[in-house]
Amino acid sequence: MQRFLLDVRAHILMVLFLFMAAAVGCGEDAGAKKSEDAQADSTKTDSTKVANKDKKKEKVREGVPVKVLTVETGEISEHVLYSATVEAEATIDIYTQASGLVRRILVEEGAKVVEGQILVELVDDELKLDEAEARLAYEKMEAQLRRKAELYNRKLLAKEEYEDLRMSVAQFKIRWERAQLSLAHAHVRAPVNGVISQRIVKIGDRVGQSSKLYEMVNLSRLIAYVHVPGQGMQNLSIGQRALVTTDFLPDSKFEGRILRISPVVDPSSGTFKVTLELNADDRRLRPGMFVNAHIVTATHAQAVLVPKRAVVYDDGMPHVFVVTDSTAQKVRFDIGFDDTEHVEVVSGVKKGELIVIVGQNGLKDKAKVRIIDGEGLRIPAKPDSNAAVKNPEST
């Protein structure tokens, strides 16, 4: 019995020993696995940090995208600016020289017409009869004069009677020509080349010699009147150049010159009236347009020019960003003349330097930049963070 108890105790001790050994093994495996996982996580974190650092370095290395332009020299002028309205030098009101009812209207507003072109036809039935009657009377008197001439040549007709007959024939001819003229006036014609600016007449109107039918302008010669204060007259002379711009055609400039200067001061405004002749060959300027007249007072032929769009102002002072070795340096400069697109550089920027013309707003001094060519300035967008998230419904 005692031996049996000893065997049982030994068996229990053996089981406990095996159980403890298994427990220790599992603990070591778990610790090793945990250590391996921690090491993997640490490696992953380190690689992510390295990748982020590389991206930042690459971004710094690439720089801010900008567009640049080489500074050039060219002509620029100083000018005085005045507002004006375009007008036609030749504006013509068209009247009829006959009386009657309007039968046909052949030309509408905006149409180009040439001298002698028929614009309006009047009812001319009675005028045609008058012309035919006058023609027959003249032909009758002319035939009678031929018969009398034979008698006069044979001394069978007194000279006084023959001369009276000849004068009568001349009178009948004048009456016929007047009837022809009245018939011709039933067709109202354009007096000169031009463009119809307004039609007043309507079909069925009864018109007379005081009836205005059309207004017509000659677009080949346009002018603009500017009113210059007395102190500004010392800089102006006939033939002086002018540049004209208008909001109707924002990307266009038109040449002009001073045509006339009035010698009389307007007592109500204290100004002189100056007439500008405009170059209207392309027919884009039209009467009635509001324009800005830049009368040139001085010109610099070889000025260093900077586009106005490249200029940034800091504390009211003009600056540009000059690019050297992928670095943008903020440079202050002094302005001379300026026009609608450029400013003259008196000092600070030199010919041949690269200046930023797109992307300069918000750019810092001595910032790294990357020059972009082509149309526009396109900066790649950041990738969408949601795009990398897997849709749980798709799994």
- What gap in Å lies between CA 84 and CA 39, rounded to an integer? 82
Of 5-14, 74-83, 86-95, the one with minimum mean pLDDT is 5-14
> Which residues contact residue 319 at a Cβ distance below 8 angstroms, ignoring those fewer than 6 apart?
311, 312, 313, 330, 331, 332, 333
Residue 46 has pLDDT above 90, yes or no: no
Residues 6+ apart with CB under 8 A from 5: none
pLDDT surpassing 80 at residue 232: no
Residue 377's pLDDT band (cuts 50, 70, 90): low
- State the DSSP H helix or E strand holding residue 312, giving kind and residue range, or none if neither: strand 312-314
Record the tokens describing residue 43, joined without a space.
């490696």
Q: How is residue 351 written in tokens? A: 């010919």
Asked if pLDDT for residue 88 goes beyond 80, the answer is yes
- Quote the mean pLDDT of the chain: 81
* Residue 46 to residue 287: CA distance in whole angstroms: 75
Q: pLDDT category, 53, cuts 50, 70, 90?
A: low
In tens, the pLDDT along 178-201 reads 999 989 999 999 988 889 989 999
CATH architecture, domain defined by 65-76+302-371: Beta Barrel (2.40)
Q: What is the pLDDT of residue 162?
A: 81
* pLDDT of 11 over the 80 cut: no
What is the percentage of the chain residues whose pLDDT exceeds 90?
40
Give me the architecture of the 78-88+218-299 domain, per CATH.
Answer: Beta Barrel (2.40)
pLDDT of the residue at 388: 42
Confidence of residue 386 (pLDDT cuts 50, 70, 90): very low
Write down the CATH number for the domain with range 125-185.
1.10.287
The confidence score (pLDDT) of residue 277 equals 94
Q: Where are the domains of the chain?
A: 65-76+302-371, 78-88+218-299, 93-122+187-217, 125-185
- Given the structure tokens 């800089």, which residue do they identify? 235
What tens digit of pLDDT does each residue of 198-211 get?
Answer: 999 999 999 988 88
What percentage of the chain exceeds 70 in pLDDT?
Answer: 79
CATH architecture of residue range(s) 93-122+187-217 = Beta Barrel (2.40)
Distance CA 340, CA 347 (A): 20
pLDDT tens, residue by residue, 291-347: 999 898 888 888 999 999 999 998 889 999 999 988 999 999 999 988 878 999 999
For the residues 205-221, what does the mean pLDDT come to?
A: 88
Integer Cα distance of 342 and 354 in angstroms: 16
For 148-182, letters b (16+ CB in 10 Å) and e give beeebeeeebeeeebeebeeebeebbebbeebeeb
- In this predicted structure, the answer to whether residue 29 has a pLDDT above a threshold of 70 is no
DSSP state of 156: -
Q: In terms of pTM, does the model score above 0.75?
A: no
The confidence band for 136, taking pLDDT boundaries of 50, 70 and 90, is very high
Q: How many angstroms separate the Cα of 173 from the Cα of each of 166, 190, 320, 340?
A: 11, 28, 85, 68
Quote the CA–CA distance of 92 and 115 in Å, as a whole number: 12
Round to the nearest angstrom and report the end-to-end CA distance of the chain: 67
**What was the pLDDT predicted at 392?**
43
Q: What average pLDDT does range 144-162 have in this prediction?
A: 82
